Structure 1
Amino acid sequence: MTAFCHQRFRFLAGALLLAAWAMPQARAGQTCAEKKTTPETVARSMALAQRTADALEAAYRRDGTRVVLLARAGQDLSRYRQTWSHVGWAYRSAAGPWRVVHKLNQCGTDQSALMRQGVGEFFLDDLWRYQAGWTAAPAPLADALWTLLQDNQHVQRLHHSRYNMLGYTWGTRYQQSNQWALETLALAAEPEVGDRDQAQAWLRFKGYRPAMLHIGTMTRLGARVTRANIAFDDHPNEQRFASRIETTTADSMLQWLPSALRFGAVQQIGE
């Protein structure tokens, strides 16, 4: 990153990877060669990050908001009737700057890791659309999430490194990025949750409904052959053979949280 960007966006200066989970390169379900970063895309990403950071800080000063589910549009998912591609938990650190904890895929492989980044870095992941969405966690759930997100050991308790971009919501063979965020919410909300099965049981009890995507046989076969980070073998046969892929999407989370857990109305920021 250029020195200019570091000077202009101070919230990037202190962004750190979680110590034991650093990866040389990572993206949200994309290969590292899919898009080429240009000065223009960096500038647009940083402008969006600055507006988002300003909006989050304004919400904190206005009503004490300090934990939100933050979404970005890194891929065009309109064919599946989805707006957002990826979410992370953003929190206001004790020192002041906002940080984002989220799960990233390692350059199109079947492996992933958790990252702690600044808001600027969160939006540098080759965006498809320069917009952000977020919903604020209510107290006392916000307090539980705020504490969990800053604990390096606790935040990775339900993390599973085997990655599948279209992982089955109610399975544990793989874990995609949005799935980790959702299961970690269950961990923060319910002290008795001790593993992924229990987290998923809590989510079912609370009425979470994943997205059902229609993905045809040829598309599935092509993706499985060419992409190491896409698999379908964890989905129930009756759904898979009917081209019905049930997975955790950012849109399904943003629709569910305000009604089920009293998160705030979804806010959008964009060009």
Structure 2
Amino acid sequence: MNTATRLMNMVRRALCAALAVACLIAVAGPVLAGQNCEPRRPSLDSMRRDLALAASVAAQLDGMAQRDGTRVVLIARAGQDLGQYGLRYSHLGIAYRDDAALDGRGAWRVVHKLNQCGSSRSALYRQGLAEFFGDGLHVHEAGVVVLKPELALRLAEQLKDDGVLTALHEPRYNMLAYPWSGPYQQSNQWAIETLALLAEPAVTSRAAARDWLRAHDYRPTTLQISSLTRLGARVSSAHIAFDDHPFGRRMAGQIDTVTVDSVFAWMQRSGLGGAPLRLRTLPLDRPQRRGAVAI
């Protein structure tokens, strides 16, 4: 058996293992992660790099868990190039360590929301890191924010409860949903509204979650999007709408929405989490030390 064949078999075994432990919170048809809905045939090299990143991130998170007791983090991927908007990451999830998984060996799980490609609908998923990073990446790195211990303690067990996670889920999806009204909900918005729900027992609705986010100084990103671009996006994309945005700001091309970068900045500013970290793929023979670069 040649090297290429052995590598392909290794990748296939790893993917099968990852799929075997994945759990769907809500079944909602074919879904591709984030907003990357273009058909693609992953190359052997891209699969290898995706899996290597997932394995390295898991090892680095395990090291943080052993040193500091880290159990819950916000985790992000760069599924597409958003540099023209000054953004690094495209998609956010909440990751937690499930110590009972894999026959007691433990594993990291990510809960996150995904848009159904070609539609305005969405569903929630619980996945392993191999799947979270296995849908095509623009940059092979993970953005991570460690939640402060008191907050992480409140979230740790609740994140395993599907009923809790679906409590504030709005299936009507809009990639550029306005953060302060409720007709639609995008992926990053679900994550921080659910964070509010898990952090504060008094939060029982999306409106209450938005009030909590305002009170804790969350500030959305304002994107400059021209009227022509808005029209083209609205006509050609079922998952993009602008009718929930305030008329005056919309006409001025000011589109406020929840981005990973704004969430990461808010977590540190509010004291709810630490400084954002970039976790990259480390060589297998390199000691799993801090391995993270502060953004």
TM-score (norm 1): 0.94
- Is 1:120 matched with 2:126? no
Q: Of 48, 57, 61, which residue of structure 2 is paired with 1:56?
A: 61
Deviation at 1:261, TM superposition (A): 3.0
Inter-partner Cα distance in structure 1 for 2:16 and 2:114: 23
Deviation at 1:22, TM superposition (A): 5.2
Larger radius of gyration, structure 1 or 2? 2
* Alignment match, 2:256: 246
Q: Is the Cα contact below 8 Å between 1:9 and 1:50 reproduced in 2? A: no
Deviation at 1:108, TM superposition (A): 3.2
- Is 1:261 matched with 2:271? yes
How many matched pairs? 269
Q: In the TM superposition, what are the counterparts of 1:61-100 in structure 2 within 5 Å?
A: 61-95=66-100, 96-100=106-110
Deviation at 1:196, TM superposition (A): 0.3
Matched residue of 1:12: which SS?
helix
Inter-partner Cα distance in structure 1 for 2:80 and 2:174: 16
Q: Is the Cα contact below 8 Å between 2:113 and 2:122 reproduced in 1? A: yes
Deviation at 1:49, TM superposition (A): 0.9
Q: Is the Cα contact below 8 Å between 1:18 and 1:152 reproduced in 2? A: no
Inter-partner Cα distance in structure 1 for 2:87 and 2:41: 24
Deviation at 1:9, TM superposition (A): 6.9
* Alignment match, 1:163: 173
Deviation at 1:31, TM superposition (A): 2.1
In the TM superposition, what whole-angstrom CA distance separates every residue of 1:131-168 from its partner, at most 9, and x where no partner exists? 11101111221022112210010111000111010110
Q: 1:6 to 1:118 in 2, by over 3 A?
A: farther
* Alignment match, 1:181: 191
AA in 1 matched with 2:54: A
- Is 1:21 matched with 2:27? yes
Q: Is the Cα contact below 8 Å between 2:114 and 2:123 reproduced in 1? A: yes
Matched residue of 1:79: which SS?
helix
Inter-partner Cα distance in structure 2 for 1:254 and 1:10: 32
Q: Is the Cα contact below 8 Å between 2:145 and 2:276 reproduced in 1? A: yes
Please list every run of 5 or more consecutive structure 2 residues that lacks an aligned counterpart in the other structure.
Answer: 1-7, 101-105, 282-295
* Alignment match, 2:51: 46
Q: 1:36 to 1:220 in 2, by over 3 A?
A: farther
CA RMSD of aligned residues (A): 1.7
Q: Is the Cα contact below 8 Å between 2:72 and 2:155 reproduced in 1? A: yes
* Alignment match, 2:242: 232
Matched residue of 1:162: which SS?
coil
TM-score (norm 2): 0.87
Please list every run of 5 or more consecutive structure 1 residues that lacks an aligned counterpart in the other structure.
Answer: none
Q: Is the Cα contact below 8 Å between 1:11 and 1:120 reproduced in 2? A: no
Deviation at 1:10, TM superposition (A): 8.8
Deviation at 1:11, TM superposition (A): 6.8
Matched residue of 1:140: which SS?
helix
Q: Is the Cα contact below 8 Å between 1:100 and 1:122 reproduced in 2? A: yes
Inter-partner Cα distance in structure 2 for 1:10 and 1:91: 21
Identify the range of structure 1 (258-267 vs 73-82) with the bigger mean alpha-carbon deviation. 258-267
Q: Is the Cα contact below 8 Å between 2:31 and 2:114 reproduced in 1? A: no
Aligned identity (percent) is 46
Q: Is the Cα contact below 8 Å between 1:29 and 1:108 reproduced in 2? A: no
